[in-house]
Structure 1
Amino acid sequence: MSQDQNTPLTFMAVHAHPDDEVFGTGGTFARYSEQGVRTVLVTATMGEEGEIVDPALDEQAKEAMFPRLAEVRQQELKKSVEALHIQESRLLGYRDSGMAGRESNQHPDSFHQANFAEAVKRLVALIREFKPQVLVTYDAFGSYGHPDHIQANRITNAAFDAAGEPRCYPELNLPAWQPSRLYYTAMPRSFFVQAVKAAQESGEPGPWNNPEMNTDIMGTPDEQISVRIDVRKYIDNKIQALTAHKTQIAPDNFVFTTPVEQRDQFLGYEHFVLARSAINSHAGELEQDLFTERA
């Protein structure tokens, strides 16, 4: 971290689409904001390729909405940001690439097709502006293989280095800033094992009854996780934020219909893997704070 004792503690998460900010970081945003940490959300695209699931809209209304879906989802994102008490929200300005293999992956304005150096430059500018000690994004697989999530990983890793190197992007006219740590969001593999077992025992039909489902490769191995943050106090904030994304998350989504005990276990803890450190590497027991060993 650049040594500037007057710089406020700042948490920045780089996400691909509106609603991604809730899963994995929503409670962390709300918790740190309450603790006086400056919170910054960077969203790469506006989710133009996503499906519209709002049951209040018929097919004709959905068709009419698609041309302005980016605008609609930007307003939903604004409500989510308010629910999570995120202080600063910025857009990288790219188009949603759609799921892997879709024709939309080739759209010239998509995040997937972005000029890499330019995309890194846009994020470096935000890092130098807000000076986060902690950066968060997805792992190399983008959590589930979405092209925009993978691109977010690539760009954030490059920006982690470039932001602290004065020779990179001097045209920004912003002083270099080196974040202390870069984390990846994660879901422990043990959670998936327990969740699938509970779902199977419930007798409810679902993908968990597929004999080919292999929980051995789901989620992140528990031993790789370095931080677990207790955000049970902020579950209501996360529910409000999820509700704000009504074109993407329907009222019958599992986060609303799952029994409260299971829902609270899923939403009440957020996990992170330490990916990069300008201080030192993680070893030993799970930490409970992304700012551990801060100056």
Structure 2
Amino acid sequence: MTSQPGPARYTLVSFHAHPDDEALLTAGTLARAAAEGHRVVVVVATAGEAGAARADWTGDHLGDRRIRELEASAAAIGAARVEVLGYPDTGWPVPTSGEGISGPADPGGPVPFSQLDAEPLAADLAALLVEEGADVLTTYDENGGYGHPDHVQVHRVGAMAAEIAGTPVVLEATIDRALIWRAVNVLRALAWVLPMPVLPDLSTAYTARGDLTHRVDVRDYVSDKSESLRAHASQSTRARDDGARTLALILRLPRPVRRRVIGREWFRERGRQVGGDLLDDVFASLRPRPECGHA
């Protein structure tokens, strides 16, 4: 009797700009892949040292703190490896009513990640993809989600690296744009209970529903995703410590509501024709197609 081969095991590399990005956009998918026996590798371009944080957490040690938070997040989702590439964080300009201490890198300092030549960055990432034998790479959509320059650079670098390494599947992590507006309306309705975060212009953010290829059900992994989010404590409060940011708002939601809000994650697969039913399997393009029977 011939034994049947077991289910295929794949390697998924998830590329992000800063610690906490992996939690917000992909933690459920990564936890699900790890639980199903696949190898999950989290790669972060910067340590997030120029990001928004509480005043007493900023400065030279913020990057070190955020790396430790990333390691705790990766453990929560079952990642087998974490790599921080160490490029300088670009930061993010502070709105007048600001969420935290953040801004562009020191003009006299190193060139930030978003302004570096993408080709050598892609070569570095491609070397890691080859080392890992990556089957799937996640990056961001062409908008970089909400337009953060480091996120846009992740999109560019990831696409180039996958081409160099021959990684067969590239999934652009994103959010269904139609649902963003619905979520904003919910937050406004709950403003008397939960303070509204400062939001960028979302009219062209993330990806239109008609351009998506995947909607991944991660409701069984909401606890893992919540632990991943919770690990990033430095990103849960404003500089003045007077209110919550988006990450903390998610964690404050009642459990049934949170399950609905973060129980699905969205992707656009590069090169896959859009239209039809959205896929629930990030490895769908790698799996053998069932053979048709013959009469």
- What TM-score results when the alignment is normalised by the length of structure 1? 0.80
Q: Is the 8 A contact 1:15 1:42 kept in 2?
A: yes
Match in the other structure for 1:237: 224
Amino acid at match of 1:185: A
Cα gap change, 1:151 to 1:215, in 2 (>3 Å): closer
Distance across 2 between alignment mates of 1:219 and 1:293: 23
Amino acid at match of 2:80: Q
Distance across 1 between alignment mates of 2:178 and 2:228: 26
Distance across 2 between alignment mates of 1:125 and 1:215: 35
Match in the other structure for 1:268: 263
Cα gap change, 1:201 to 1:105, in 2 (>3 Å): same
SS of residue paired to 2:170 = strand
Amino acid at match of 1:162: I
Match in the other structure for 2:284: 292
Amino acid at match of 1:132: A
Distance across 1 between alignment mates of 2:196 and 2:138: 30
Could you list the per-position Cα deviations for residues 75-133 of structure 1 after superposition, in whole angstroms to 9, with x for gaps in the alignment?
11111110111111112221111115944175424212323222111101011011222
Match in the other structure for 1:154: 156
Range that drifts further, 249-258 or 115-124: 249-258
Amino acid at match of 1:263: R
Count of aligned pairs between the two proteins: 262
SS of residue paired to 1:92 = strand
Long gaps (5+) in structure 2: 1-7, 95-102, 238-242, 289-295
Matched, 1:181 2:169: yes
Amino acid at match of 1:270: E
Amino acid at match of 1:95: P
Match in the other structure for 1:259: 254
Q: CA deviation at 1:149?
A: 0.7
Amino acid at match of 1:254: L
SS of residue paired to 2:49 = coil
Q: In the alignment, which of 136, 140, 143 is matched to residue 141 of structure 1?
A: 143
Distance across 1 between alignment mates of 2:47 and 2:203: 33
Q: Is the 8 A contact 2:119 2:160 kept in 1?
A: no
Amino acid at match of 1:198: V
Cα gap change, 1:99 to 1:134, in 2 (>3 Å): same
Could you list the per-position Cα deviations for residues 148-188 of structure 1 after superposition, in whole angstroms to 9, with x for gaps in the alignment?
1111111111112111xxxxxxxxxxxxxx22221111211
Could you list the per-position Cα deviations for residues 168-218 of structure 1 after superposition, in whole angstroms to 9, with x for gaps in the alignment?
xxxxxxxxxx2222111121123123223334444638669x9xx987545
Counterparts of 1:77-88 in structure 2 under 5 Å? 77-88=70-81
Q: CA deviation at 1:273?
A: 1.1
Distance across 2 between alignment mates of 1:83 and 1:207: 28
Distance across 2 between alignment mates of 1:218 and 1:206: 22
Long gaps (5+) in structure 1: 1-6, 54-58, 164-177
Cα gap change, 1:103 to 1:197, in 2 (>3 Å): closer
SS of residue paired to 1:43 = strand
Counterparts of 1:208-247 in structure 2 under 5 Å? 217-247=204-234
Matched, 1:50 2:51: yes
Distance across 2 between alignment mates of 1:273 and 1:46: 26
SS of residue paired to 1:261 = helix
Distance across 1 between alignment mates of 2:128 and 2:53: 30
Q: Is the 8 A contact 2:216 2:280 kept in 1?
A: yes
Cα gap change, 1:116 to 1:235, in 2 (>3 Å): same
Query: Aligned Cα RMSD in Å?
Result: 2.7
Match in the other structure for 2:36: 35
Q: Is the 8 A contact 2:176 2:266 kept in 1?
A: yes
Match in the other structure for 1:170: none
- What TM-score results when the alignment is normalised by the length of structure 2? 0.80
Q: Is the 8 A contact 1:227 1:272 kept in 2?
A: yes
